[in-house]
Structure 1
Amino acid sequence: MSCMAETRWQRERSVSDSRAYVARFAQLEADETDLHGEARTLDAMLPRGARVLDAGCGTGRLGAELARRGHRVTAVDLDPVLVAAAREHSELTVHEADLATLDLPGERFDAVVAAGNVMIFVARGTERQILARIAHHLVPGGIFVAGFATDYEYGVDEFDLDLAAVGMVREYRYATWDLRPWHKGADWAVTVARKAGG
């Protein structure tokens, strides 16, 4: 699928930046850095064997870890360099697609996760459209979990309004992936929202 507008990731990053991103995470893994905090948190929230969409999957590390924990994971990213890296994880089904126009016919998920600053790297003005596509792909009662830095122009207040506009209700917000309490002024927000129904 072609993207409708240039994302902030595309505007601010080059192919060499994407390759450096892949190399950075490969080195962190080689150094045995704990890269699975997000997966541990999500795994605790999900029913066993959940169908999960990793939206903005990057290198696929989160989706691969969720798959290792028994979940069925589909991953999506717009960056072809990152998609190639994610496809190295044989346990993932990976699509190169723009979240603003995401259409996976017949696919519905128990959870969608947008972990690594996805919502602040999309094209400005497409956030609500992306959330609508995410909601479309969730089963009734399914959860959406997003984590992003709070010091960008798209903040948590606007995010909450966009969630509500597409039929999702914010249930929880934390300041970190290890679920430290949210407070105004936190530099990170992890939000858990639920699609109506179910």
Structure 2
Amino acid sequence: MAKPTRWVTDTGPDHSQWYIDRFRQLAAEGADLAGEARLIDALVAPGSRVLDAGCGTGRVGAALALRGHTVVGVDADPVLVEAAGAAHLGPRWLVADLAELDLAAAGEPEPFDAAVVAGNVMTFVAAGTEAEVLRRIAAHLRPDGVIAVGFGTDRGYPLSAFDDDSAAAGLRREHRFATWDLRPWREESDFAVTLLRRPAE
């Protein structure tokens, strides 16, 4: 990887295991962990190909696979990818830096109908690579494919910068919400879910 991600540089050595344990505990407590997957499922046709970009422990991709979609999950953290593979059979889980994403080289040449970028992924990629991350994700979509991106607006990556990076990646913004269950976006919202479209060629 050309540049360490902020997941590496801005967190401690035990952060990955803490993250794994946190979501295991939430699942054991019966927390609703499939909100992002429900939105993606509503945006695409049955049996679509979905890229889970920054898949972490695989909770979103696994929920999409249970809904009948073909899922490939990618994360730069091998500890998280190993946890995803151990917990969720079905999707393909790969270690890769989103800023250098080339799934054809990993045996996944078919384009995706949609991508989901959940869990504050955009605030954890290496600083300065955000536009390239979006460009690489978009390059793996079919024309007219959709990307759903969600992150906290108070985490050091302004929405104005995200909008500029999305445009630089050739993506068109279609909608913005304050939550994954589509509550209205307001300027004071501390979270944003943005739906982007790769224009049809």
Q: Output the CA distance in 1 between the equivalents of 2:53 and 2:61.
A: 10
SS at 2:114 equivalent:
strand
- Structure 1 position 104 matched with structure 2 position 107: no
- Structure 1 position 139 matched with structure 2 position 138: no
Aligned equivalent of 1:26, options 14, 19, 24: 24
| Residue identity in the other structure for 1:151 | D
1:167-190 CA distance string (max 9 Å, x none): 110000000011001111110000
After TM superposition, give the deviation of residue 57 of structure 1 in Å. 0.3
Q: Output the CA distance in 2 between the equivalents of 1:93 and 1:9.
A: 22
1:87-133 CA distance string (max 9 Å, x none): 12111101100000010112310001101100011111000111110
After TM superposition, give the deviation of residue 20 of structure 1 in Å. 1.2
Q: Which runs of 5+ in 2 are unaligned?
A: none
Q: Output the CA distance in 2 between the equivalents of 1:90 and 1:185.
A: 40
Q: Output the CA distance in 1 between the equivalents of 2:98 and 2:16.
A: 18
TM-score, reference length from structure 1? 0.96
Contact 1:58/1:86 (<8 A) preserved: yes
| Residue identity in the other structure for 1:182 | W
Q: Output the CA distance in 2 between the equivalents of 1:84 and 1:125.
A: 27
- Structure 1 position 193 matched with structure 2 position 196: yes
Q: Which residue of the partner structure matches residue 169 of structure 1?
A: 172
| Residue identity in the other structure for 2:185 | W
- Structure 1 position 125 matched with structure 2 position 128: yes
SS at 1:125 equivalent:
coil
Contact 1:54/1:73 (<8 A) preserved: yes
Q: Output the CA distance in 2 between the equivalents of 1:71 and 1:139.
A: 16
1:21-41 CA distance string (max 9 Å, x none): 101111111111111111111
Q: Which residue of the partner structure matches residue 43 of structure 2?
A: 45
After TM superposition, give the deviation of residue 148 of structure 1 in Å. 0.1
Contact 1:15/1:81 (<8 A) preserved: no
TM-score, reference length from structure 2? 0.95
Cα RMSD for the two superposed structures: 1.0
Q: Output the CA distance in 2 between the equivalents of 1:100 and 1:142.
A: 19
Q: Which residue of the partner structure matches residue 151 of structure 1?
A: 154
Aligned length: 196
Q: Output the CA distance in 2 between the equivalents of 1:95 and 1:46.
A: 23
